[in-house]
Amino acid sequence: MPTSIYDEMLLCPYSMHYLSKSGKMAEDPDTHGEHNDGCGIAFVKNGQLEIHKRDKEHSWDSSYRLIIENVQSNLFIAHNRKASKDLEIDEKRSHPFLYHSFAFCHNGSVHSLMDDAIDTGVTDTELFLKELIDKAENTSSQGIFNSLNVLANKYEFSSLTGMLMNTHELFAWRIYNDRNKERAKRFEEYYTLWMKKNEGSVVIASEPLDNEHWEKLPNYIFLHLKPSAERIDQFRKHITINK
């Protein structure tokens, strides 16, 4: 059943708009600051994926808010960008990114891809998305999971945490690098995913958007959510890291 995302984006106490001005900071998750290097939203309209993005200068402008106020969809993903050092900041580099039939947003840095990203003027997220889809044996839930599991063992990264959607399903995962014990505590506090179940909907966010009950998802979790007219089917798996 199509629904609005107006509350989560603009009205909740810690809405996406609020977090664009006062989100957790990677260097110290106890501090808060701007995640305002761009913003974007993806949703389903007339059976097709639609993506709207803004650069830093136009982040959360009136035209973007108007889209949020009026859109209804079975699925959404939205993102506030805090750009990694040396990556370009413009509308094209704002998340979500579209590749084939998928929209994707990501929180973290893929160090193994950063040099190529800087050399080619794209983002590590775009390169990661391309390889994730291209290396999957198919685009089923299992195919995406298997490809992600391979890349999580292949790359050096701070976090691969992300959300991936097509026109009928959503995948979300939390994967941060816990191999460096000095950084693991900070990453555990910063690269988070929280889930809240409402009547007829599920919300997943990097930070709780209000003061109600949210479930903190564990590291290496992979979620597959598939809404239908009657219910939202939820499947969980765990990524395996060869340490």
Q: Tens digit of pLDDT for each residue in 168-182?
A: 999 999 999 999 888
- Distance, in Å, from the CA atom of 21 to the CA atom of 89, rounded to the nearest integer, reads 17
User: Residues near 156 by Cβ (< 8 Å), separated by ≥ 6?
Assistant: 110, 111, 112, 177
CATH of domain 6-238: 3.60.20.10
- Distance, in Å, from the CA atom of 236 to the CA atom of 232, rounded to the nearest integer, reads 13
Instruction: Give the pTM.
Output: 0.95
Query: Cα angle at 32 between 30 and 38, to 5 degrees?
Result: 140
- Distance, in Å, from the CA atom of 73 to the CA atom of 43, rounded to the nearest integer, reads 6
Q: Domain limits of the chain?
A: 6-238
pLDDT above 70 for 192: yes
How confident is the model at residue 243, as a pLDDT?
65
**What is the token pair recorded at 102?**
């998928």
**What is the token pair recorded at 216?**
């903190």
Report the pLDDT averaged over residues 78-89: 85
Residue type, 205: A
Share of the chain above pLDDT 70, in %: 99
Alpha helices in the chain (DSSP H): 6, 16-22, 62-70, 111-120, 124-134, 141-154, 181-190
Q: Tens digit of pLDDT for each residue in 47-74?
A: 999 999 999 999 999 999 999 999 999 9
How confident is the model at residue 19, as a pLDDT?
97
Q: In the Cβ-directed half-sphere of 49, how many Cα atoms lie within 13 Å?
A: 21
